[in-house]
Structure 1
């Protein structure tokens, strides 16, 4: 994304970037989580096609994040979207405030409650920082979301098995990121793939690091009871 953002900034120096977070109520089972993730992806796609959004949207980069509530072992699924918009977005007749985004998300998700939605402008942290470098730094902070094992490992083996089984089932066939517009165009022109599309999921940033490779063998066996592989000790 660093290379992409730098190139987009060169082509669209007056563009602005906003960070959108979209959530729904927690889910409790793999089936609920899978269904909700599919619904959220569809709703986001439909929302971005709305005239009110589309007329100022130059492109987006969307990622999915899932965390686990360790108190009730529910799943919190939400989308983070980096939106590249034209400067005209901030004109009175074009601007979408947080309430507008909330209503759009509620409508396309067909929710009977008001979801938590957050929208904020991405801007350099340092006032005197070179604008392009500052923007890239801000974007790097924005898109680094991921689900880490520390978010859901509880040290309770039975609970952890259930969580891993649920995530394995719910995330099967799901895409964790997508892009559109000028962002996708630049990705294609630079012949870049999303990390999850790459043949090499270790060295997604560039040249291989020899120190990462250690000669040896690890054996993992498939276990039907948890629906995943477990490494033999």
Structure 2
């Protein structure tokens, strides 16, 4: 629902700047996301994508909250749902994180499982071939998920496509240290021209749910070399792609409450780690570099908008898909971006707070 009309009768603002905090006290960055959306909209306009630019520029212009004793709860707004909109992708990311939290909690409550993080890549591609490459990757993953080894070992998965652009004109020390064997093989060193500069790197991040016996039984365990072979076969490649698989490691910053049982503490920490790898894959900093309009950013917008249109960037399979359906979690990509979690649903009778974007102040002002 576009709610600009709901503020037309408002006369004067209170002069207060919107402060929206989570129950833990962390401030929600509405201002920052709105500014990034407007910057992205400017790039869209210059790229000739006028209609999407106009929608994005008006995205979340007005926010209507219900005020509860604990916090503000977003009740009404209008989101443009343009695939590359930073505001919408922030909301999508929150929703996916909530969905995956509920799914992981449900799985861990019902079964003893382990979690793996799998990264599947292909060679970098140019903008002209990007859309076709991504389509091939979706087909390849579909083939991979039907292989006997996958079906035997994997109880369920969450898959997210991410596309980044290589923006380093020269090989930095950080890049070199991350993959020295590759650069040595190519005869390149720190400071050399980067052969992948300006190309796009589509890849899958996959969260895998496996049985606890995965690492103990030969008929379950899939080595990294075997994952590479399977992905190469699924993609019908004439080269060995870069594939990485690792255990999801629990975050260690959870408070050590002695009354928790060890297994319970491990499960909670593991769930926190799972959320780290299940965020929405389109990051505005991958689309727009810096805070200025540049030709490079305009090129990136054109390429990513064309390549990602009408494609679903996330997907569930197996046990995780079943639980997603059972919990009736809805569509995080194209669905409601107002109610992120069940905690967001509040009674109609509580006091409303309306905040409207003020172009001059470049912030949300409470009315």
Range of TM-score over shorter length: 0.7 to 0.9
Contact 2:103 / 2:323 at 8 angstroms: preserved in 1?
Answer: yes
Report the CA distance shift for 1:20/1:211 in structure 2 as closer, same or farther (over 3 A). farther
> What are structure 2's unaligned runs of at least 5 residues?
1-99, 170-196, 257-261, 360-367
Aligned equivalent of 2:180: none
Aligned equivalent of 1:115: 241
Report the CA distance shift for 1:38/1:217 in structure 2 as closer, same or farther (over 3 A). farther
Aligned equivalent of 2:162: 65
Match of 1:75 among 197, 200, 210: 200
> What are structure 1's unaligned runs of at least 5 residues?
219-233
Normalising by structure 1, what TM-score?
0.83
Higher strand share: 1
Aligned equivalent of 2:313: 176
Counterpart CA distance in 1 for 2:136 and 2:240 is 16
Compute the displacement of 1:211 (Å): 10
Contact 2:158 / 2:317 at 8 angstroms: preserved in 1?
Answer: yes
Compute the displacement of 1:178 (Å): 0.3
Matched residue SS, 2:240: coil
Aligned equivalent of 2:133: 36
Q: How does 1:148-159 map to 2 (within 5 A)?
A: 148-154=283-289, 155=292, 157-159=294-296
Aligned equivalent of 2:278: 143
Report the CA distance shift for 1:150/1:119 in structure 2 as closer, same or farther (over 3 A). same
Normalising by structure 2, what TM-score?
0.54
Counterpart CA distance in 2 for 1:203 and 1:165 is 30
Report the CA distance shift for 1:188/1:145 in structure 2 as closer, same or farther (over 3 A). closer
Compute the displacement of 1:183 (Å): 0.7
Compute the displacement of 1:203 (Å): 4.6
Deviation track 1:196-225 (CA, whole Å, cap 9, x = no partner) reads 03222x55345179999633599xxxxxxx
Matched residue SS, 2:155: strand
Higher-Rg structure is: 2
Aligned equivalent of 1:192: 329
- Over the aligned positions, Cα root-mean-square deviation in angstroms equals 2.5
Counterpart CA distance in 2 for 1:34 and 1:107 is 21
